[in-house]
Chains A and B, each alone.
Chain A
Amino acid sequence: MTARDLLPIAAFALLAACVPLFVTSNVVLNFLVFTLIIALAAQGWNLLGGYGGQYSFGHAAFFGTGAYLTAILQVRYGMNAYPAFAAGIALAALVGLAIGFMAFRSGLRGSYFALVTLAFAEVFRVLANASEVTGGAAGILIRLQANPANFQFAERGTFLWVAAALVTLALVATLALERSRLGAQLVAVRENEAAAQALGVDVLAVKLRAIALSAGMTGAAGGLYAQYFLYLDSTIAYGTWISVEALLAPIVGGAGTVFGPLLGAVILHGLAEATKSIAGRIPGIDLVVFGIVLILVVRFPPRDIPGLLKRWRR
């Protein structure tokens, strides 16, 4: 990694850092924080799905685990928010490792990997909805104590800084992965598993490392969500919405690229806001737009667009 590689990331960090100095609208700040939380979850998905080609439909399992553990350790065991947040990330990574071990050792790929991750997320959701420690259907509430020592901030702008800092870290980690041996081997696994094996790549070990990192990063997004909204229930933490968001942003913004997930999250949520302002508060209309964008992106991959334009001009 050279200084020049880091330049775009530094530019993002600087831009994000300046926003709270100029933007005071709570609505706008709220939108930005939420988008960054999604971007962080999506950066996590991208490590496994974008670089490794293993499309998870169940990243909610990791988001929810990070979120719930962060909340539960504080509410039920009186732990400080920062170690609770770290524990949430660690547990999410462990859950990723466990699910990955079962799925990858069985050789599940493509649609079957998508299905099994989806099913795991649903199992977690049903369990969280029925269990006492998660607060069951009523959910769990983190007590409001706006103090930096509690990982809570009186100003939304401060929280934006924190979220932007975490996304910046995720971008740097992604870049580091891209430039590392693990990254090269992961991409090799995505492109052709048999060839990767023949070149000495331990495919199972590489996939497991990738899913642990991926799950940990998405778990961090969950923990951040818990600290920002201070409330969780099973459909928030383990709902399909976050599995879809985590997958959609990298696909739209560019899977397997450093900035893809962030870009995708900004585009999608920008579009969602625009749609809502045009169509009014019709429930679900923003998600209809997401679905249409997803199909269009698959039909007309952005990297092909220059070629398509050329053909069209001819």
Chain B
Amino acid sequence: MGFPPDIILEAVLNGLLTGAVYGLVALGLTLVYGVLHIINFAHGALLTAAMYAAYVARTALGIDPYIAALPLAALFFLLGYAIQRLVIGPASRGRDENILLVTLGLSIIIENLMLAVFRSDTRSIDVPYAMEVVEFGPALLSYPRLVGFGATFLVGIALFVLMRFTATGKAIRAVAKERTGAALVGIDVAHIYAVTFGIGTACLAISAALLLPSFYVSPRVGNAFVLVAFTIVVLGGMGSVVGALLGGLVIGVVESLSGLYLGESLGQIGIFLIFILVLLVRPTGLFGARA
């Protein structure tokens, strides 16, 4: 209302850029939901852990986060695989409320381990391109966010190829559709679950590497992202990969605009209200038949 159009345009564009990375965070969550039908409350804490990993890679080993992204993804794939195979799977014994509690327990453990190791200080890394901007018409776009935007879509395409054309991808889709049937034709469901959880966690590692140049990291930073990610997943439809990416863009713009109009601290409210509203109004429709 009170803002000139190019400020609004810039807010929208920056919202889109940030939203793409939100979408990537949500991608892992929605993938795990789509296949395992669980809501992973440890998602935010795992993102925090990944951001610290990228932080350590930069500060201790001097590796640029964009270069660290792929090795970190591999590392976090293994971590995610192990967590599902060794902790969530056995402890939940297939019951919804147990999964809820186990992933909550995991998030408490991870978050506070980070607190114990790194203390509560907020940290950021120093890369030469952190403050660089790219001119786009009248708007100035942050370079790290532009990279994040591009990388998100590369990951999206890679996931699409993986799911569509590889044997593992086919097995994952089979398990998502019909677990018992998949088991009957000889697919190792526990293994596929863990692979899916691993892929979801690997997405987080890439998100972390993309976020770190322009965001700070603290033991609770994941919480800020996780509700955003839940909102995206709910908005885009639980289990929908395309929905997660599009939902991410929408939420990025909503956050950016409500930050512009309501100020930083109240800006988050817009997201929570969308979240609550969608949950209340169309939970089954957006969650699919399982809800």
Tell whether A294 is near chain B: CB-to-CB under 8 Å: yes
- Residue B223 lies at the interface, judged by CB distance under 8 Å to chain A: yes
B237 contacts the other chain (CB 8 A):
no
A232 to B40 CA separation, bound complex (whole angstroms): 31
Not counting A111-B38, A116-B279, A298-B105, a sample of 6 additional A-B residue pairs whose C-beta atoms are within 8 angstroms of each other reads: A103-B279, A126-B269, A240-B223, A282-B116, A287-B112, A292-B105
Residues 63-90 of chain B, each 1 if its beta carbon lies under 8 Å from chain A, else 0:
0000000000000000000000001001
Asked whether A62 is an interface residue with its Cβ less than 8 Å from the other chain, the reply is no
A115/B101 in contact, CB under 8 A: no
Q: Does A196 reach chain B (CB closer than 8 Å)?
A: no
The chain A residues found within 8 Å of chain B, CB to CB, are 53, 55, 57, 102-103, 106-108, 110-112, 114-116, 118-120, 122-123, 126-127, 129-130, 137, 240, 244, 247, 251, 282-285, 287-288, 290-292, 294-295, 298-299
Q: Which of A127, A283, A295 contacts B102 (CB 8 A)?
A: A295
Query: Does B109 contact A292, Cβ atoms closer than 8 Å?
Result: yes
Is B104 interfacial (CB-CB < 8 Å)? yes
Enumerate 25 A-B pairs (CB-CB under 8 Å) in ascending A order. A55-B97, A55-B100, A106-B283, A111-B100, A114-B41, A119-B230, A119-B272, A126-B265, A126-B272, A137-B265, A244-B108, A282-B116, A283-B116, A285-B116, A287-B111, A288-B109, A290-B108, A291-B109, A292-B109, A294-B105, A295-B87, A295-B101, A295-B102, A298-B92, A299-B90
In the bound complex, CA of A247 to CA of B229 (Å)? 23
Provide the residues of chain A in CB contact with B260, threshold 8 Å: none
Contact B276 A285 (CB under 8 A): no
B269 with A127: CB separation less than 8 A:
yes
In the bound assembly, the distance between CA atoms of A305 and B2 in angstroms comes to 65
CA gap between A290 and B233 in the complex, in Å:
29
Q: Once the chains are docked, how many angstroms separate the CA of A122 from the CA of B101?
A: 19
Name B residues whose Cβ lies closer than 8 Å to a Cβ of A. Answer: 38-39, 41, 87, 90-92, 96-102, 104-109, 111-116, 119-120, 219, 223, 227, 230, 234, 263, 265-266, 268-269, 272-273, 275-276, 279-281, 283-284, 287, 291
CB neighbours of A247 from chain B (8 A): 104
Chain A minimum-CB-distance residue to B273: A123
Pick the residue among B87, B96, B116, B230 that contacts A115 (CB under 8 A): B230
Instruction: List the B side residues contacting A288 at CB < 8 Å.
Output: 108-109, 112-113, 116
Closest 10 CB pairs of A and B: A284-B112, A284-B115, A291-B108, A291-B109, A294-B105, A299-B91, A287-B112, A295-B105, A111-B39, A291-B105
Distance in angstroms from B63 CB to nearest chain A CB is 27
Partner of B104, one of A123, A127, A244: A244
